[in-house]
């Protein structure tokens, strides 16, 4: 039997795309595929279609509040943008003949609330679409679903006939944007709010203060923003503008003022609040720093009372985030007055001292009508149950808080700044399937937030770090728990990513701009080949391998690369198909060969580009590795196709070369290496096929194709 016949039989590495979990969530006959994200609670697709043409009109039954009217107008403009149709302005007077009829039970709460009813129903026939919701926010959510349903074929544009009943699984579905480490202009915030609305997120967590910057105007204490921001801050008028912009889209704005640690920018202006005398300067590096407020001084609480009174008016949401994380207490340990205070009060350690501070701060926030929220570190004994715990430690820590009666929000697993692939975020659930929480305890878990910490993002790159991965997190927080199919998620995510461009996101288009800048305007084809198969290193290794400050330009090759390589994922699927699907061996073989040839040929072309552009010098070892990967893969594919086992020395040399290529360069790494290793091992062990069971072979290939363990950063 030839190797071509054996390999598909023995290497049973499946790449089939299934829709089983999604099918459980969708009731009744459904199309083969749909592109909805998030997946609704239930959807029944029928035969028939509603044409969308220049006669498309919208009617509203009942009161039309300004927010609803603005939402309708935005939806119509987006339809026009996709269809190139000029649609009628204003609302139709006759609901019986309108293409789309909206029924809202009322405008909802004046100030967006976590209790807001976002449910809706949508029924589309070949005659009319009817969208019903108890609130304007529910209508806005339903309009986003309608826009996602818009499709086309040779007959024109249409919406398929469907019956949808939908509501979110969790009431708190957020995106945290840190504007303190790297300031983000108003247009960045607005386009991301539009994107949040498109995928039904409903909380903008606005991280406004840090060691590296104080980003909000205070009229009570103007030195805060004057001395702590390098001139980059939001005026109070701009803050109100963001709050209004968000509310129009059914999104709450929860501000964060990090205390008592992460407080350098506070102390630049007011060193008298600190636990050490100062002077203080704005931090320019990333990391955890010592400056902290002095929790033993009454002047601190008087100051915070005035400040939070001012902010409470500016930010109407019920919740206010006080941070509370990563305070190591080193200044407290060295301050004799603080140590004496702790001894007098019977405060045993720094955790207890921070709890004392939090309790004092809680009373201030309650006075101004706010509910306190903070990171895991504030969850200490004797903390009042009214405080909301924001967990970066994981579902287990969140569950522990819920069992003790605390409401909580999960961000562990949703740290998008760590550059993990979408699939890793998608499988994280605020209430996992193995959770032991009772129904009453589970009700304390409000939802989750993706967190965009901004050490390494600029206005040009922040969209590519948030999107499209956050759309998958939005689905996890909205859709039924049973919606878990990774392949189908990625298929729909690709469609969603393109759709998000219509609200102004730059995550797709800016990559080419950044590459043209690096290549000085020359042909970027070879550079695009390289960046398509590399990813930034994960977690916090970027700064260790490529040290920068908050003033460094974020315009390098690493800034042009994406966190989740589509090309690497497609290549892996094709290699799996090559080794497991006998009827399609030739087709898969040709695809793999074409890709490997492109990598091999791009190497020399990249070398020429690098010679002309000093900004690309750090890419030289990556270009060499790309050429090596292409050459190695082609050699392995040749052996497999011919059924010839290479010499042992070939395997040893090629695997050693792959180990070298796996080492990050310029804080970038190749996620395609495991697939190339798989080809090398498949080629070099053909002679063992008859001695192994399929299960043994599959296990061996997986083990040997895995990248070597890292021994350090």
Angle CA 498–504–505, to nearest 5: 60
| CA distance readout (Å), 625 to 16, 38, 642 | 30, 39, 26
What beta strand segments (E) does 139-272 contain?
151-153, 156-166, 172-178, 203-207, 209-210, 213-214, 252-259
Q: Please report the sign of the dihedral spanned by the C-alpha atoms of residue 411, residue 416, residue 422, residue 424.
A: negative
Burial class (CB in 10 A: 0-12, 13-18, 19+), 687: exposed
Q: Minimal CA–CA distance to 275: which of 337, 341, 332?
A: 332
Q: Which residues are catalytic?
A: 326
**Separation CA 525–CA 331 (nearest Å):** 53
Scanning the structure block, which residue is given the tokens 């955890």? 288
Tell me which residue of 518, 516, 418 sits closest to 466, measured CA to CA. 418
Cα 232 to Cα 228: distance, rounded to the nearest angstrom: 9
Q: Phi, psi at residue 311, to the nearest 5°?
A: -70, -30
Length of the chain in terms of residues written: 713
Q: What is the CA radius of gyration of the chain?
A: 28
Write the secondary structure of 253-305 as one string of H (helix), E (strand) and C (coil): EEEEEEECCCCHHHHHHCHHHECCCCCCCCCCCCCCCCCCECCCCHHHHHHHH
Quote the Cα angle for 298-300-306, to 5°: 110
Nearest-angstrom CA–CA distance, 254 and 498: 28
d(CA 184, CA 229): 12
Token pair recorded at residue 112 = 């967006």
The DSSP element (H or E) to which 605 belongs, if any, is helix 585-612
Query: In angstroms, rounded to a whole number, what is the distance separating the alpha carbons of residues 290 and 263?
Result: 9
Which token pair is 63? 């009161």
User: Crossing angle for the helix pair 525-532 and 585-612, nearest 10 degrees?
Assistant: 120
Query: For 690, which DSSP code?
Result: G
Q: Tell me how far apart the alpha carbons of residues 549 and 283 are, in angstroms, rounded to a whole number.
A: 9
d(CA 215, CA 224): 9
Distance, CA of 257 to CA of 176 (rounded, Å): 13
182 neighbors 113 (Cβ within 8 angstroms): no
**Helix, strand, coil percentages, rounded to 5, for the chain:** 50, 15, 40
CB 528 within 8 A of CB 515: yes
* Residue 66, phi then psi, degrees to nearest 5: -55, -35
Whether omega for the bond prior to residue 679 falls within 30 degrees of 0, making it cis, is: no
| 451 close to 417: Cβ distance less than 8 angstroms | yes
First to last CA, the chain: 46
CA dist., res. 493 & res. 238, Å (int): 32
Distances (CA, A) of 164 to 22, 52, 108, 122: 14, 19, 22, 5
Q: How many angstroms separate the CA atoms of 239 and 249, rounded?
A: 16
Please, which residues have CB within 8 angstroms of residue 540's CB and are 6 or more apart in sequence?
418
């Amino acid at each position: 039997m030839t190797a071509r016949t054996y390999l598909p039989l023995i290497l049973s590495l499946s790449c089939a795309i299934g829709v089983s979990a999604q099918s459980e969530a969708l009731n009744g006959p459904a199309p083969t595929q749909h592109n909805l994200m998030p997946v609704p609670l239930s959807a029944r697709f029928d035969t028939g279609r509603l044409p969308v043409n220049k006669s498309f009109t919208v009617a509203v039954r009942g009161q039309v509040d300004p927010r609803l009217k603005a939402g309708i107008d935005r939806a119509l403009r987006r339809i026009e943008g996709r269809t190139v149709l000029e649609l009628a302005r204003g609302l139709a007077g006759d609901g019986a003949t309108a293409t789309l009829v909206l029924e809202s039970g009322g405008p909802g709460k004046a100030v967006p609330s976590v209790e807001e009813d976002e449910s809706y129903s949508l029924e589309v026939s070949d005659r009319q679409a009817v969208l019903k919701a108890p609130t304007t926010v529910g209508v806005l959510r339903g309009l986003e679903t309608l826009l996602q349903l818009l499709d086309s074929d040779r007959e024109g544009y249409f919406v398929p006939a469907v019956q949808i009943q939908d509501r979110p699984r969790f009431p708190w579905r957020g995106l945290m944007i840190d504007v303190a480490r790297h300031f983000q202009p108003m247009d960045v915030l607005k386009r991301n709010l539009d994107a949040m609305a498109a995928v039904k997120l409903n909380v903008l967590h606005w991280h406004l203060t840090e060691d590296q910057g104080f980003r909000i105007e205070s009229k009570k204490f103007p030195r805060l923003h004057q001395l702590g921001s390098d001139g980059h801050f939001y005026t109070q008028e701009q803050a109100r503008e963001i709050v209004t912009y968000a509310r129009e889209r059914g999104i709450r704005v929860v501000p964060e003022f990090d205390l008592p640690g992460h407080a350098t920018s506070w102390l630049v202006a007011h060193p008298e609040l600190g636990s050490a005398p100062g002077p203080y300067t704005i931090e320019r590096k990333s990391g955890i720093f010592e400056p902290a407020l002095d929790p033993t001084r009454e002047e601190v609480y008087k100051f915070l009372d005035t400040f939070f009174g001012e902010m409470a008016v500016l930010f109407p949401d019920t919740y206010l985030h006080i941070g509370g994380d990563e305070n190591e207490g080193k200044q407290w340990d060295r301050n004799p007055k603080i140590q004496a205070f702790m001894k007098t009060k019977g405060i045993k350690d720094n955790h207890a001292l921070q709890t004392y501070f939090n309790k004092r701060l809680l009373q201030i926030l309650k006075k101004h009508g706010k509910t306190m929220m903070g990171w895991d570190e504030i969850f200490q004994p004797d903390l009042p149950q009214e405080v909301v715990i924001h967990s970066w430690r994981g579902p287990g820590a969140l569950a522990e808080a819920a069992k003790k009666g605390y409401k909580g929000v999960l961000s562990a697993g949703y740290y998008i700044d760590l550059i993990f692939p979408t699939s890793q975020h998608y499988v994280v659930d605020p209430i996992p399937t193995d959770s032991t929480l009772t129904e009453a305890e589970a009700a304390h878990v409000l939802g989750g937030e993706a967190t965009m910490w901004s050490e390494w993002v600029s206005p040009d790159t922040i969209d590519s770090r948030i999107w499209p991965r956050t759309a998958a997190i939005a689905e996890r927080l909205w859709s039924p728990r049973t919606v878990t199919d990774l392949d189908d998620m990625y298929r729909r995510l690709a469609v969603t990513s393109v759709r998000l461009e219509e609200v102004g996101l730059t995550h797709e288009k800016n990559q080419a701009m950044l590459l043209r800048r690096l290549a000085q305007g020359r042909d970027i084809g070879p550079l695009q080949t390289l960046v398509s198969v590399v990813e930034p290193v994960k977690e916090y290794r970027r700064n260790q391998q490529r040290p920068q400050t908050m003033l460094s330009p974020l315009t390098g090759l690493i800034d042009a690369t994406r966190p989740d390589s589509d090309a690497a994922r497609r290549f892996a699927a094709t290699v799996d198909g090559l080794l497991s699907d006998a009827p399609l061996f030739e087709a898969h073989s040709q695809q793999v060969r074409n890709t490997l040839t492109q990598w091999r040929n791009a190497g020399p072309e990249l070398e020429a580009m690098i010679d002309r552009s000093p900004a690309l010098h750090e890419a030289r070892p990556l270009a060499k590795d790309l050429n090596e990967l292409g050459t190695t893969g082609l050699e392995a594919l040749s052996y497999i196709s011919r059924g010839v086992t290479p010499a042992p020395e070939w395997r040893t040399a090629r695997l050693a070369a792959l180990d070298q290529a796996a080492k990050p360069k310029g804080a970038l790494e190749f996620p395609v290496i495991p697939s190339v290793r798989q080809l090398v091992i498949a080629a070099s062990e053909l002679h063992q096929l008859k001695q192994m069971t399929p299960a043994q072979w599959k296990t061996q290939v997986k083990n040997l194709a895995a990248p070597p363990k890292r021994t350090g950063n």
